[in-house]
């Protein structure tokens, strides 16, 4: 189950929409918080309203350094200490030191890191620019890729996810970072999604309304325009299928 606990696109009533992203993944061996939004108070309040207890979270994964993805971490770690925090390469030493001082363990994932059976990071992309990774979760429908901002290119992250998991990719969900892209550039990315065999897309956070509309127009029912509080009822595939 994938629950969007932080997003700037409005969604479920009673939740606060705020610039940033955060998603809780339940149903695998470990419960994961992917990104923490920009504001810890909003993160914790949205989680509370969505019945996600911070104590349930076993692992935090941060997609990249930007404040709208990492800003809620310190408040979260005050509620839930001692969890491992997976980060891509390129985070400043001061950030890592701060996380350790809050009682968490920092794991820098240059290559694809296995978090538990059926859950792994893509490995870091965007070397020399904004370094970022995504999270791959195995489900009976195929792999789900969760992205933060997708600064290295959502299509490049998806290609990397397919490579490290072996595919197929069922859903790509999160920020696609296409706000400043032209219509033809966005179309080229949708073409690449089709080439990669991605069945569904859920662009939110920094995807931008023009890109969201174009994805919806081209993918129809295969595209969901989601916001804060949206729950994807896809169960992670914890046990290997018996032959
Ligand atoms: Zn962002
Ligand atoms: Zn960003």
CA 235–ligand 2 middle distance (angstroms): 28
pLDDT digit string, tens, across residues 1-16: 999 999 999 999 999 9
Looking at all shown ligands, the one closest to residue 6's CA atom is 1
What is the whole-number distance in angstroms between the Cα of residue 4 and the centre of ligand 2? Answer: 17
Helix (H, G, I), strand (E, B) or coil at 171: strand
Q: What is the pLDDT of residues 40-83, one digit of tens each?
A: 999 999 999 999 999 999 999 999 999 999 999 999 999 999 99
206 CA to centre of ligand 1 in angstroms: 6
Residue count of the chain, please give it. Answer: 243
Q: Which CATH superfamily is domain 2-232 in?
A: Ribonuclease Z/Hydroxyacylglutathione hydrolase-like (3.60.15.10)
Q: Is 154 exposed, middle or buried (0-12, 13-18, 19+ CB in 10 A)?
A: buried
Q: Where are the alpha helices (DSSP H) in the chain?
A: 40-49, 67-70, 73-79, 93-101, 154-165, 183-195, 209-219
Which among 138, 133, 200 is positioned nearest to 165, based on CA atoms?
138
Taking the centre of ligand 1 as the mean of its atom positions, its distance from the CA of residue 44, in whole angstroms, is 18
Average pLDDT, the chain: 96
> What's the gap in Å between 64 CA and the centre of ligand 1?
9
Rg (CA), the chain: 16
Single pTM value for the model:
0.96
Report the pLDDT value the prediction gives residue 235, as an integer from 0 to 100: 84
Distance 17 CA to ligand 2 centre (A): 17
Compute the distance from residue 44 Cα to the ligand 2 centre, in Å: 21
Per-residue pLDDT for the chain (243 aa), expressed as one digit of tens each?
Answer: 999 999 999 999 999 999 999 999 999 999 999 999 999 999 999 999 999 999 999 999 999 999 999 999 999 999 999 999 999 999 999 999 999 999 999 999 999 999 999 999 999 999 999 999 999 999 999 999 999 999 999 999 999 999 999 999 999 999 999 999 999 999 999 999 999 999 999 999 999 999 999 999 999 999 999 999 999 999 887 555 544
């Amino acid at each position: 189950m994938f629950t969007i606990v932080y997003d700037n696109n409005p969604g479920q009533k009673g939740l606060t929409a705020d610039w940033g992203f955060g998603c809780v993944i339940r149903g695998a061996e470990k419960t994961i918080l992917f990104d923490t939004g920009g504001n810890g108070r909003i993160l914790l309040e949205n989680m509370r309203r969505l019945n996600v207890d911070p104590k349930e979270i076993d692992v935090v994964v941060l997609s990249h350094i930007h404040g709208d993805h990492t800003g809620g971490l310190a408040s979260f770690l005050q509620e839930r200490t001692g969890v491992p925090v997976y980060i891509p390469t390129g985070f400043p030493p001061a950030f890592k030191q701060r996380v350790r001082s809050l009682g968490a363990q920092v794991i820098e994932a240059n290559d694809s890191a296995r978090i538990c059976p059926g859950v792994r990071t893509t490995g870091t992309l965007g070397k020399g620019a904004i370094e970022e990774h995504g999270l791959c979760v195995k489900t009976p429908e195929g792999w789900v890729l969760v992205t933060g901002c997708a600064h290295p290119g959502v299509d490049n992250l998806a290609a990397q996810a397919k490579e490290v998991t072996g595919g197929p990719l069922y859903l790509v969900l999160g920020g696609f970072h296409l706000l400043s892209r032209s219509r033809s550039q966005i179309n080229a990315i949708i073409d690449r999604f089709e080439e990669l065999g991605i069945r569904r897309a859920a662009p939110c956070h920094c995807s931008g309304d023009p890109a969201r509309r174009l994805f919806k127009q081209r993918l129809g029912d295969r595209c969901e325009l989601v916001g804060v509080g949206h729950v994807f009822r896809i169960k992670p595939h914890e046990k290997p299928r018996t032959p």
